[in-house]
């Protein structure tokens, strides 16, 4: 087996945080392959044959056909049901146990076959696409932690955070998985604002506490910053993953020319966008969210909102550029990660 490490940019955080927009934009970068929330590929792709981001069913997509053939010998040569069950069994509440070295090794030993399938899939994606960076927007910190247990994956975590009130409101609204023209409408899950707030707290706390320690590098990005200056933040992301020479001339202000369709396996309708797209902040929560729900969500998530700077006088958090990648040595990977987090830029 090829032991060269595969560079994975893992977008972590809570659902409804704008990761699909960011994912689509990163797909336009030379040397990047954005595959959406890859943790869902076994169920949504291999089993249910849902639409790929390129607009055709997963089983008919030439990219995924080639990837499956290279990874497993064909679409039907991997036990997708077993893989789906394995992935769904990785839960946030299990993460504290994983801090114990003995528990980590026990889990790694028990999960060997599934982890090898994950490694084969990511390596095949890199090989078929010819990319240098695989972009996975699965967000779930528990799955991200599992990826760091695969020695051949160089997992760099971009922790995307959006205002909890915007996230909670988005969870309460109805959103489609796929275009209405694809058949019977299928809607994404909806959550009460309180439940959405609790998930926002759990996901973001887990990303900070666990992925920060396990990933080769970790940085946080605020959605509200990104949508105001996408070109600058894409440059920051490129520096963060060590790809600083890649051009971003497809972005002009907040307008993006999206010519490359992605092969996302899961997400909302935004993943099907191509052509000229305007990047703007979705602020409908300020108008449509009830006063009671806004107060409740703010109270529940206030400590984290304060840490992120959401109540500064300027009305938005202070911009903090992402720290660039630093050279790694085989014996100092984790130390490099922790040092990078302490970099302060004006």
- SS3 labels along 66-78: HHHHHHHCCCCCC
In the prediction, which pLDDT does 99 show?
86
What is the rounded average pLDDT of the residues 114-135?
98
318 exposed, middle or buried (CB, 10 Å; 0-12, 13-18, 19+)?
exposed
SS3 105: helix
Give the total number of structural domains in the chain.
Answer: 1
- The 3 state secondary structure assigned to 171-220 is HCCCCECCCHHHCCCCECCCCCHHHHHHHHHHHHHHHHHHHHHHCCEEEE
Percent of the chain scored above 90 by pLDDT? 80
Model pLDDT for residues 30-58, shown as the tens digit of each residue: 999 999 999 999 999 999 999 999 999 99
Say which residues have a Cβ less than 8 Å from residue 15's Cβ, sequence separation at least 6: 139, 167, 171, 199, 203
Q: Write out the DSSP string of 230-258.
A: HHHHHHHHHHHTT-TT---TTEETTEEEE
What is the rounded average pLDDT of the residues 64-68?
98
Domain assignment present for 227: yes
In the prediction, which pLDDT does 215 show?
94
**How far apart are the C-alpha atoms of 340 and 323, rounded to whole Å?**
7
Domain assignment present for 346: no
In the prediction, which pLDDT does 321 show?
67
Confidence of residue 331 (pLDDT cuts 50, 70, 90): very low
Domain assignment present for 261: yes
Q: Where are the beta strands (DSSP E) in the chain?
A: 6-13, 32-34, 133-139, 153-161, 217-222, 251-252, 255-258, 275-278
Residue 327 has pLDDT above 90, yes or no: no
**Residue 66 CB neighbours (<10 A):** 15
Model pLDDT for residues 157-194, shown as the tens digit of each residue: 999 999 999 999 999 999 888 877 777 788 889 999 99
Q: How many CA atoms lie within 13 A of 288 on its CB side?
A: 13
In the prediction, which pLDDT does 186 show?
84
Nearest to 233 by CA among 343, 293, 309, 321: 321
Residue 339 has pLDDT above 60, yes or no: no
**How far apart are the C-alpha atoms of 253 and 274, rounded to whole Å?**
17
8 A C-beta contact, residue 236 and residue 345: no
Domain assignment present for 195: yes
Domain assignment present for 35: yes
CATH of residue 27? 3.40.50.300
Domain assignment present for 68: yes
Looking at the DSSP bridge assignments, the partners of residue 51 are 57
Residue 3 has pLDDT above 90, yes or no: no
In the prediction, which pLDDT does 319 show?
66
Average pLDDT, the chain: 90
Residue 329 has pLDDT above 50, yes or no: no
Looking at the DSSP bridge assignments, the partners of residue 13 are 160
In the prediction, which pLDDT does 192 show?
96
Domain assignment present for 234: yes
Parent domain of 330:
6-341
Residue 345 has pLDDT above 50, yes or no: no
Model pLDDT for residues 240-271, shown as the tens digit of each residue: 999 999 999 999 999 999 999 999 988 888 99
Domain assignment present for 1: no
Nearest to 47 by CA among 76, 88, 74: 76
Confidence of residue 315 (pLDDT cuts 50, 70, 90): low
Predicted model pTM: 0.91
8 A C-beta contact, residue 168 and residue 14: no
Confidence of residue 316 (pLDDT cuts 50, 70, 90): low
Distances (CA, A) of 305 to 70, 165, 310: 44, 10, 5
């Amino acid at each position: 087996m090829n032991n060269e490490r595969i560079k994975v940019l893992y977008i972590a955080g809570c659902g409804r945080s704008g990761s699909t927009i960011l994912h689509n934009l990163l797909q336009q970068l030379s040397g990047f392959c954005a595959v959406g929330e890859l943790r869902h590929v076994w169920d949504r792709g291999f089993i249910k044959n849902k639409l790929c981001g390129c607009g055709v069913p997963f089983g008919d997509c030439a990219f995924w056909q080639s990837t499956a053939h290279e990874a497993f010998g064909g679409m039907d040569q991997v036990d997708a049901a077993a893989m789906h069950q394995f992935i769904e069994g990785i839960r946030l509440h299990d993460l504290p146990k994983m801090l114990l070295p003995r528990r980590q090794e026990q889990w790694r030993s028990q999960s060997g076959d599934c982890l090898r399938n994950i490694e084969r899939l990511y390596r095949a994606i890199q090989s078929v696409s010819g990319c240098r960076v695989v972009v996975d927007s699965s967000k779930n910190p528990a799955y991200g932690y599992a990826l760091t247990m695969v020695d051949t994956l160089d997992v760099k975590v971009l922790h995307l955070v959006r205002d909890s009130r915007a996230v909670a409101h988005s969870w309460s609204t109805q959103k489609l998985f796929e275009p209405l023209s694809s058949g019977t409408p299928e809607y994404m899950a909806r959550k009460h604002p309180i439940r959405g707030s609790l998930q926002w707290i759990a996901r973001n706390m887990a990303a900070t506490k666990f992925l920060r320690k396990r990933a080769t590098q970790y940085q946080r990005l605020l959605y509200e910053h990104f949508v105001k200056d996408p070109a600058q933040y894409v440059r920051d992301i490129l520096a963060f993953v060590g790809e600083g020479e890649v051009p971003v001339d497809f972005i002009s202000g907040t307008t993006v020319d999206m010519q490359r369709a992605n092969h996302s396996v899961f997400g909302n309708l935004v993943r099907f966008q191509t052509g000229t797209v305007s990047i703007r902040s979705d602020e409908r929560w300020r108008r449509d969210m009830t006063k009671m729900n806004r107060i409740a969500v703010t109270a529940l998530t206030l400590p984290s909102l304060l840490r992120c700077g959401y109540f500064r006088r300027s009305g938005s958090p202070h911009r903090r550029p992402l720290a660039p990648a630093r050279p790694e040595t085989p014996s100092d990977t984790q130390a490099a990660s922790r040092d990078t987090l302490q970099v302060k830029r004006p």
